[in-house]
Chain A
Amino acid sequence: MESNTIIKLKDVNFYYGQSRALTDISMTFGKNKVTALIGPSGCGKSTLLRLLNRMNDLIDGTRVEGEILFEEKNIYAPDVDPVEIRRKIGMVFQKPNPFPKTIYNNIAYGPKLTGVNAGDLDTLVEQSLKQSVLWDEVKDVLNKSAMNLSGGQQQRLCIARALAMKPDVLLMDEPTSALDPISTAKIEELIEELKKDYTIIIVTHNMQQAARISDETAFFYIGNLIEYNKTEKIFTKPEVKQTEDYITGRFG
């Protein structure tokens, strides 16, 4: 595996029961890059994202073929613990989903479970909230409920919660689709910052968002990877007609 590759997919097929949702996907994700997955609803982009940290395992009747290598090891190998994979490959969802706990405990909950001692927790909470650019807004209300935060703040809290587990990769499934433009801009800015330390893979329906924040863009259609290229190339001169039709709105 090339040194700048963190995840590699080899001939991946994915099935929900009898129905195939992904067909022969082979691709690599670069370390410290932001990669956007785009495509119409039902194209398989979110399915692919969930495959990368074994979230699809939680759905009955699903089946994976092929290999997904994370740091050269197949994450679907029998000896691999999915919980450990999800720690290294964190996830942020479409709707902010803080726990009904204090802001502090939202961040501390995961690390506590994995055995981080109480003395280190304060530092970790502060560090994670600073990384997600939320610290200044919440430092005085850490013991208040996370449910009182605005939608944008809740989403940044969820990002902080994911970062507290010290992952290598952050998967984001339409992380700003429920947010207003200002909160969206803050998350996008945050993604730019985070890519220095993390690899980010983001599913988005907002084409301009993909264009703004990602280094690479992959276009999916009916379970197939149609084009995977530098974002600039995809949005100025895509190589495949189908990609062009989709991103210019000549679709359906």
Chain B
Amino acid sequence: MMEEKRHTSLHYEKELQAIKDGIIYLGALTETAIRKAMKSLSDRDTELARRVIRDDDEIDRLDTDLEERCIKILALRQPTAIDLRFITTAIKITGHLERIGDMAVNIAEKVMLLNEEPQLKPYIDLPRMADLVGGMIKDSLDSFVKSDLEQAEKVRRVEQVIDDLNEQIFRELLTFMMEDSKNIHRALLVMQVSKNMERIADHAKGIADMVTYMVTGECVRHQTCSMLE
């Protein structure tokens, strides 16, 4: 967007830039929330998990603030073409980021329960999943900032890997549950952590899909990677 020529109205230009900056900041907060939630799991740090839950208020506040600013632009500036696509994309992205914040809270809540019992198993795939998901959020937001279709496409591809990892974790935890029914509670909690990660990846893909819409004007939300190729 910003490689574009400037608007005749500099105030308008600043309003759009402020929304972009706000989304980047919101993205940084959600990335941190996920990282902390996963660290609280691997370090068994209940206090850190509590902090993730507390910090979500700021994510919610920013989400509301950004949405209000986008609505104000729609009402007062009546954006068209790339500006219209930018604003609709921004509204959707803030929604995705806010939900990602909620998923981090869900994970933190599960961690607090898990920390009350001995660790079920060493975590191998979950931290890997967390790294990939963190990368997806970063890439999706970078693709938004740079209007980079290739990067958006990369996010869509990684999402498939996350789905596979979630499946694998599910199967592994199933064996733990079958081995000993005392494992069921903890295994279910870990499964929910994994499921939340998988849903975060869906939201990152949602952001990438919106970037594609913003750049091309084409809606790809309901197309799979193979359909896009």
Which A residues form the contact surface with B (CB < 8 A)?
207-208, 211, 234-238, 243-245, 247-252
Contacts and interface: CB of A to CB of B under 8 A. Distances in A.
Contacts of A235: 80-81, 84
A207 B84 CA distance: 14
Interface string B141-152: 000000000000
B222 interface: no
Contact of B9 (A236, A243, A244, A249): A249
Given A236-B217, A237-B217, A249 B12 contact: yes
Secondary structure class of chain A's binding surface, majority of residues: helix
Given A236-B217, A237-B85, A237-B217, A250 B5 contact: yes
Secondary structure class of chain B's binding surface, majority of residues: loop
A251 B8 contact: yes
Interface in B69-85: 78-85
Given A208-B78, A237-B216, 13 more contacts: A207-B80, A211-B80, A235-B81, A235-B84, A236-B217, A238-B81, A245-B5, A248-B7, A248-B79, A248-B82, A250-B7, A250-B8, A251-B8
Contacts of A244: 81-82
19 contacts: A211-B80, A236-B80, A236-B85, A236-B217, A237-B81, A237-B85, A237-B216, A243-B81, A245-B5, A248-B80, A248-B82, A248-B83, A249-B7, A249-B8, A249-B9, A249-B12, A250-B4, A250-B5, A250-B8
Interface of B: 4-9, 12, 78-85, 216-217
A243 B83 CA distance: 13
Contacts of A251: 8
A207 B6 CA distance: 19
B5 to A, nearest CB: 4
A171 to B, nearest CB: 25
Query: Which 7 residue pairs across A and B have the least CB separation, nearest first?
Result: A237-B217, A250-B5, A235-B80, A244-B81, A247-B80, A248-B83, A249-B7
Contacts of A245: 4-5
Contacts of B84: 235-236
A248 B78 contact: no
